[in-house]
């Protein structure tokens, strides 16, 4: 069983079918301050997409649940139509940093036309960052698709295998 309160909340959201915790998590995330220029120029929030099988299994995408509330609080549109997962990947929970990177390499692609992404500053939304392999893979796909700047926002950070405290 997970340890601290934040870890238990994330676990409930991802693995126990509790999307109702997402609004409180997103309200907490909304308190994060970005530099003024970032807040002015962010064009959209982009939730990290799940593989279709995992979305069916959970019944929802936890990143969408968080991004939906954040978009409302930050008055920034949410875009689910700009990046897609091209293949299923194994769960990252027990992988080393290198294995995580290989696991998600090439697993995403921009699905919006290049002209609609050109020059945009997009903010990727996910529940937890560990090594940032998933966020980096999404960012690479969006940058290759024309986005100019990618920022990340997550509810928490989990230790990676091998992290030292």
pLDDT digits 0-9 by tens, 99-155: 777 777 888 999 988 888 999 999 999 998 888 888 999 999 999 999 999 999 999
| Per-residue pLDDT reduced to its tens digit, 31-87 | 999 899 889 999 999 999 998 888 999 999 999 999 999 999 999 999 999 999 988
Structure-token match 């676990």, residue found: 11
Nearest CA to 152 out of 143, 132, 141, 26 is that of 132
CB count in 10 Å sphere of residue 24: 12
- 155 phi/psi in degrees, rounded to 5: -75, -40
Structure-token match 């920034």, residue found: 76
In sequence order, the 6+-apart residues with CB closer than 8 A to the CB of 3 are none
| Bigger pLDDT: 21 vs 95 | 21
Provide the CATH number for the domain formed by 5-157 in this structure: 3.40.50
What is the pTM for the complete model shown?
Answer: 0.88
In sequence order, the 6+-apart residues with CB closer than 8 A to the CB of 90 are 103
Q: In this predicted structure, what is the pLDDT of residue 157?
A: 81
* 15 confidence band (pLDDT: 50, 70, 90): confident
Structure-token match 């609609």, residue found: 116
* 5 confidence band (pLDDT: 50, 70, 90): confident
Q: In this predicted structure, what is the pLDDT of residue 1?
A: 42
Question: Which range, of 15-19, 80-84, 92-96, averages the lowest pLDDT?
Answer: 92-96
Delimit the domains of the chain by residue range. Answer: 5-157
């Amino acid at each position: 069983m997970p340890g601290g309160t934040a870890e238990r909340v994330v676990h409930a959201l991802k693995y126990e079918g509790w999307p109702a915790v997402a609004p409180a998590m997103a309200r907490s995330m909304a308190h994060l301050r970005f530099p003024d220029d970032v807040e002015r120029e962010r064009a959209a929030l982009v939730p990290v997409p799940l593989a279709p099988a995992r979305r069916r299994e959970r019944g929802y995408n936890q990143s969408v649940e968080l991004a939906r509330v954040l978009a409302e609080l930050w008055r920034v549109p949410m875009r689910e139509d700009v990046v897609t997962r091209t293949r299923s990947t194994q769960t990252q929970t027990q992988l080393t940093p290198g294995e995580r990177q290989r696991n998600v390499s090439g697993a995403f692609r921009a699905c919006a036309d290049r002209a609609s992404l050109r020059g945009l500053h997009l903010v990727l939304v996910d529940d937890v960052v560990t090594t940032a392999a998933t966020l980096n893979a999404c960012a690479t796909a969006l940058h290759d698709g024309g986005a100019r700047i990618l920022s990340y926002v997550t509810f928490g950070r989990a230790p990676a295998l091998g992290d030292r405290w």
